[in-house]
Amino acid sequence: MTASAVGPIATNGVRIELKGRITAYTAAPIWRAALETLARNPDRPIIIDASRLEYADDVGIALLFDLIRCDRPATAKVEIRDLAPNLGVLVHAHNPADFAAPARGRSYPGIFEEVGRATMQQVAYAAQVADFVGECWVELRRAFAGRVRVNWGDVLDIATEAGANGVPVVLLIGFLMGVIIAFESGLVAKQFGAVIFVVNGVGFALLRELGPLMTAIVFAGRTGAAFAAQIGTQKVNEEVNAITTFGLSPIHFLVLPRLIAAILVVPLLTVLADVFGLFGAALVMLRFQIGFVQFYHQLLEAVTASDFILGIVKAAVFGLTIAAVGCERGLTTGAGATSVGLSTTSAVVTSIVLIIVIDGIFSIFTV
């Protein structure tokens, strides 16, 4: 269909003939051959015979334009002959000067600029986080003091989605945690004839540490991420701006219900994880000849109510942290779909790191 023929004309000119249709799919070899011809003949005039050129799409037009815009001496100009007027209009619609500079790509800053900018960003960000924490604190206090109206409908919706719909996965993880710890420690304890004390270990570990911790990690992955994505998308769609321009506080409208829902729901989920973890452990202990009743009595001896309460308090703090991080990351989302993804990832990672750190602090002060 399309071909380019190159042959000498007159004494020193070079002739390039373009035939048929030049489209995005067929232009590559023609373009390459034509540019090579131009490069091989830097000081001879080039005649492009377009009399048999039937059609050129945007790529074909760009090809023709590329050939005539070349910077060559006056005696070696490129000239297109017999180009159909409809194509000529499109080729000559452009000004070569507009395309003289190379295409600009993304701008990458130098290392010092990058470090400086990142430092400034972190400083600004720390101030932003402090602001956010302060505002949340004020809102929460006013909400619990009954001085602001809390939209309990929203709280209930969020609690249902974050809590009730998360029950199956929390149950599964709790159960498996109980099974795994009981089994692993049971195998070791059996060698010393101390299988009964596995109940102490499992009860202590589940109620104080693993119940709240595993629930919080599941909650961070499930709900913290969802909070960041929801609020982030609302930010991208300018819904957050709309709330602000009504003179309302996004913290009150978007963040407060989520904080309250998380504080209520994570402890409840933790109770379920505890119960199912202990049940899983009790099932495993059957294999080590320890029955349910024996398990129950040993458990009551090993753990106290304060262990359980400590776990529940931890869970509430974890819930608050996860919800706050998720909402904060959502509200600081930039523009575009990519930034929603970044916020979501960052919400989960930050939440999990903070949960572990807070857990460490609890361990130090509650020995």
Residues near other proteins, by CB under 8 A: 23-25, 27-29, 31-32, 55, 57-63, 65-66, 86-87, 89-90, 93-94, 98-99, 103-107, 334-339
CA-based nearest residue to 334, from 201, 181, 228: 228
CB of 237 to other proteins, least distance (A): 11
Return all residues near 134 (Cβ < 8 A) that are at least 6 apart. Answer: none
End-to-end, the C-alpha distance of the chain in Å comes to: 84
Query: In whole angstroms, what is the distance from residue 282 CA to residue 311 CA?
Result: 20
- Smallest gap, in angstroms, from Cβ of residue 332 to other proteins? 14
Q: How far apart are CA 233 and CA 246, in angstroms?
A: 19
Give the separation between CA 287 and CA 8, rounded to whole angstroms.
Answer: 94
Supply the minimum distance, in Å, between the C-beta of residue 337 and other proteins. 5
Nearer to other proteins among residue 82 and residue 131 (C-beta): 82
Q: Which residues pair with 13 in a beta bridge?
A: 9
Measured from the CB of residue 339, what is the shortest distance to other proteins in angstroms?
7
Q: Which is nearer to other proteins, 66 or 239 (CB)?
A: 66
Counts for the chain of helices (H) and strands (E), in that order: 15, 4
**Distance in Å, CB of 67 to other proteins, minimum:** 11
At 332, give phi and psi (nearest 5°): -95, 15
CB nearer to other proteins: pick between 95 and 119: 95
Q: By the 8 A CB rule, do 207 and 300 touch?
A: no
**Closest residue by Cα to residue 275 from 170, 121, 150, 118:** 170
Residue 146 C-beta: closest distance to other proteins, Å: 42
Task: State which residue, 85 or 153, has the beta carbon closest to other proteins.
Answer: 85
Q: How far is the C-alpha of 66 from the C-alpha of 82, rounded, in Å?
A: 17
Nearer to other proteins (CB atom), residue 223 or residue 346: 346
Considering beta carbons, is residue 34 or 216 the nearer one to other proteins? 34
The span from the CA of 315 to the CA of 149, in Å, is 25
Contact 26, 60 (CB under 8 A): no
In the complex with other proteins, the residue whose CB is nearer, 335 or 357, is 335
* CA 239 to centroid of chain Cα atoms: 20
Decide: helix, strand or coil at residue 30.
Answer: helix
Task: Give the tokens for residue 273.
Answer: 């994880």
Instruction: Indicate the pairing of strand 13-22 with strand 78-81.
Output: unpaired
**Taking the complex as a whole, how short is the minimal distance between the CB of residue 116 and other proteins, in angstroms?**
21
Strand pairing category for 13-22 and 46-56: parallel
Sheet architecture: strand order including 13-22: 4-9, 13-22, 46-56, 78-81
Q: Measured from the CB of residue 129, what is the shortest distance to other proteins in angstroms?
A: 23
Q: Which is nearer to other proteins, 294 or 339 (by Cβ)?
A: 339
Rounded to the nearest whole angstrom, what is the least distance from the CB of residue 78 to other proteins in the complex? 15
Please say which residue, 298 or 343, places its beta carbon nearer to other proteins: 343
